[in-house]
Amino acid sequence: MSLCPSSNLLPPMKSLFTLLTTLYSVSVVSAQNATGLAPLKFRSLPLGKIMPAGWLKDQLTVQTNGLAGHQHEFYRYVSQTNWLGGNVTYSDLQEAAPYWFNGLVPNAVLANSDALKKQTSYFLDYVLSHQGTDGWLGPEVNTTLPRILWARYPFLYGAIQMVEVDPSLTDRVVTAAYKFVKLANTMIKNKQGLDDWTNSRWHDFLIPMQWLYDNHPNGNEALLLETMNLLKAAGYPWDKIFSDQYFPKGPVDHISNPLGYGLMWHGVNVAMALKSSAAAYRVSHSQTDLDNASAAWDRLFQYHGRPSGIFAADEYLAGLDAVRGTELCLVVEAMFSGSYLYQVIGNPKYADRVERITYNALFATITGNMWSRQYLQQQNQIASKNMSPNPFPNDGAYSNVFGLDPNYPCCTVNFPQGFPKFISNAFVTTPDGASLVQVYLGPFNTNANLQNGNNVQVTVDTQYPFSDTFKTTLTASKAFTYYVRIPSWVTKGTISVNSGTTQPLSPSNGLQAVKVASGTTQIVLNLPADIKTEQRPNGSIAVQRGPLHYAFDIPRNQTILAQNAQQPLAVDLQFGATASWQYAIDPSTLRFDAGKPPATLPSPIYDSGKPTPSISVTACLISWPIAGDTFVSSPPTSPACTGSKSTIKLIPYGATKLRISEFPVFKST
């Protein structure tokens, strides 16, 4: 069914038939009385207008030189010789190629790689020129394979991004998309193409349809609105699933499913569905939908959140225990959902969290050279190996190995979208097009055409999140107001414009406004933060400073478990601890050390010993048992020291591949 299949261990789902019969009785808002789409709070810029600079550019080069930029050459799910030769299974065609395309389009453009752009152009052309006469899109046209609507959505996302870069593709893509929407409309009315994945991921078709509505309505408004309403009505009622009454307040392994939707607690579905109520709001115009979207976000992170910014679901929602897993696919989907939520709702909490997920959870689960990725990452991860027993009730023994496609292949083809889409959503404009807003902080070169022919170029020079300082140079043809997001964790931040006096920040709704004259303006920002500790289960704590979460980097050795026959860099790696990690820490002794940053950060930055900032803390060894032979039990509460005190160093979580990051506490004095 899917490259990340559901497990049949979950409580039984209602039969699809029952589900559809029930849902079709829900009333559907008719297109006649709809009033169009509610406006966005912020508009995205076309792909390619925001380019990574400095270390972000280097990190994208690392991604491009790794698995993301090379898998089409050898990986069977996306190698063209395989899928064009028909030597693939149903699920490969259904979702692997569209997933890959969706991520490779922005990767190719932002890395300015002609070789990768050729791949995406070839794929787009192939799919469009082989569209079924009835409108079906996909490599599987004219096969007898069953049609599942949802796997077309990543293709549509990829095609839209290509149009943003090359408007000459507009007519071809928009025409093909409308043929497909018309077919989908009929299919939904005939109850076709609606498997459980389609029913749970309806918002990911609403968003491409909203792009058509906003940019190329061409007289199809009624068709789009009707199709959006039909799709939502046929789909999972996410507002109910996320509601206080039904939302699980702990791991779901041993609780029964109260609503009967079989994939409603599936981690990737939940990450994608974070944007469901915001997508629905654009059609309904109902404030309740926005309130529901906001409450769903908070509830998920309250009961399943991790100090790395993400939440835990090792297939299904997994609660707070530090050894339970977080799937890589859900990391990149939550990032994308958060960017969309920010653009619809404008609440800075979405942007704060997306930045934390990117700078911590994303790179923690991929090796420094980005050739090997995990399926599941753990906050406390003392080994990466074939684990038997393992702490994941619904995932396999190989889930936390760093490799080509441990446990399931989906994250290999889907992870590449995460980082490029973070970059392409890093700036937005206000809806009137008059102002530019920097949403995600880091080094960028951005070029925007604002209202009234105001061309603005922005260069942000910084090593953030490995430094607190920013030098932003703006060149504008006309005066305008520039905004920059000030994260909620900043304390005593300052700003100075054109070498003027240094002023305290005065953000409103998370944004600092700066009046910019025509010509060149220079802004210097300093965004310091205090060390914060986060309470975790059983009296343990996690350490944060600014956007970065800090962890003890367990020294490790490495064994190659497997190597791809065609691509020797694609290896499966086992990591084992080579030093003690059984530490309790004294939070009163935490001290931040910014280090001496080099002029250029090391490449790759997300690996042991590479980032400069660190936090020191007084620690002592304790008795902390392992479970099985491979994973650590919950942090002991109020443990006694078994050895003398020492000072240990914590480094950014994303650079650690084995780690302790939820510590028991003790008092050193």
Ligand X SMILES: *[C@@H]1O[C@H](CO)[C@@H](O)[C@H](O)[C@H]1NC(C)=O
User: What is the 3 state secondary structure string of 135-188?
Assistant: CCCCCCCCCCCCCCCHHHHHHHHHHHHHHHHCHHHHHHHHHHHHHHHHHHHHHH
Residue 488 in the binding site for ligand X (CB under 6 A): no
> Looking at this protein, which amino acid is placed at residue 574?
Q
Could you say which of 196, 226, 253, 289 contacts ligand X (CB under 6 A)? 289
Residue 58 or 405: the one with the smaller Cβ distance to ligand X is: 405
Radius of gyration of the chain, Cα coordinates, nearest whole angstrom = 24
Residues 560 and 662: beta-carbon distance below 8 Å: no
> Structure tokens of 284?
């309904």
Could you say which of 302, 455, 578, 600 contacts ligand X (CB under 6 A)? 578
Could you say which of 8, 142, 508, 535 contacts ligand X (CB under 6 A)? 142
Residue 142 CB, shortest distance to ligand X, in Å, is: 4
Map residues 74-103 to x or -, x wherever contact with ligand X holds by CB under 6 A. --x----xx--x-x----------------
Residues 497 and 521: beta-carbon distance below 8 Å: yes
Residue 25 in the binding site for ligand X (CB under 6 A): no
Burial environment of residue 667 by CB neighbours within 10 A (0 to 12, 13 to 18, 19 or more): exposed
Residue 177 in the binding site for ligand X (CB under 6 A): no
Residue 284 or 467: the one with the smaller Cβ distance to ligand X is: 284
Query: How far is the C-alpha of 315 from the C-alpha of 4, rounded, in Å?
Result: 9
> Looking at this protein, which amino acid is placed at residue 663?
F
Give the footprint of ligand X on residues 112-131 (CB under 6 A). Answer: 130
Give the footprint of ligand X on residues 326-385 (CB under 6 A). Answer: none
Residue 324 CB, shortest distance to ligand X, in Å, is: 8
Q: Identify the DSSP state of 46.
A: P
Could you say which of 320, 387, 439, 497 contacts ligand X (CB under 6 A)? 320
484 CB-near residues (< 8 Å, 6+ apart): 437, 438, 441, 472, 511, 512, 514, 523, 525
Residue 54 or 139: the one with the smaller Cβ distance to ligand X is: 139
Residue 477 CB, shortest distance to ligand X, in Å, is: 42
Residue 321 in the binding site for ligand X (CB under 6 A): yes
Residue 111 or 577: the one with the smaller Cβ distance to ligand X is: 577
Residue 243 or 533: the one with the smaller Cβ distance to ligand X is: 243
Query: How far is the C-alpha of 574 from the C-alpha of 381, rounded, in Å?
Result: 12
Q: Which stretch binds ligand X (CB under 6 A): 182-190, 237-245, 497-505, 524-532?
A: 237-245
Residues 414 and 375: beta-carbon distance below 8 Å: no
Residue 36 or 217: the one with the smaller Cβ distance to ligand X is: 36
Map residues 269-288 to x or -, x wherever contact with ligand X holds by CB under 6 A. ---------------x-x-x
Residue 306 in the binding site for ligand X (CB under 6 A): no
Residue 508 in the binding site for ligand X (CB under 6 A): no
Number of residues counted as binding ligand X (CB under 6 A)? 30
Could you say which of 25, 27, 256, 508 contacts ligand X (CB under 6 A)? 27
Give me the numbers of helices (H) and strands (E) for the chain, helices first please: 21, 29
Place of tokens 């009967």: 260
> Structure tokens of 66?
């790794």
Residue 240 CB, shortest distance to ligand X, in Å, is: 5
Residues 527 and 487: beta-carbon distance below 8 Å: yes
DSSP-assigned states of every residue in 84-96: HTT-S-HHIIIII
Residues 232 and 191: beta-carbon distance below 8 Å: no
Instruction: Give residue number: closest CB to ligand X.
Output: 243
Residue 511 or 573: the one with the smaller Cβ distance to ligand X is: 573
Residue 302 in the binding site for ligand X (CB under 6 A): no
Residues 303 and 320: beta-carbon distance below 8 Å: yes
Instruction: Report helix, strand or coil for 372.
Output: coil
Residues 586 and 618: beta-carbon distance below 8 Å: yes
Residue 287 CB, shortest distance to ligand X, in Å, is: 8
Residue 566 in the binding site for ligand X (CB under 6 A): no
Q: Which stretch binds ligand X (CB under 6 A): 24-32, 421-429, 475-483, 605-613?
A: 24-32
Which residues form the interface with ligand X (CB under 6 A)? 27, 29-30, 33, 76, 81-82, 85, 87, 130, 141-142, 239-240, 243, 284, 286, 288-289, 292, 320-321, 537-538, 557, 559, 576, 578, 633-634
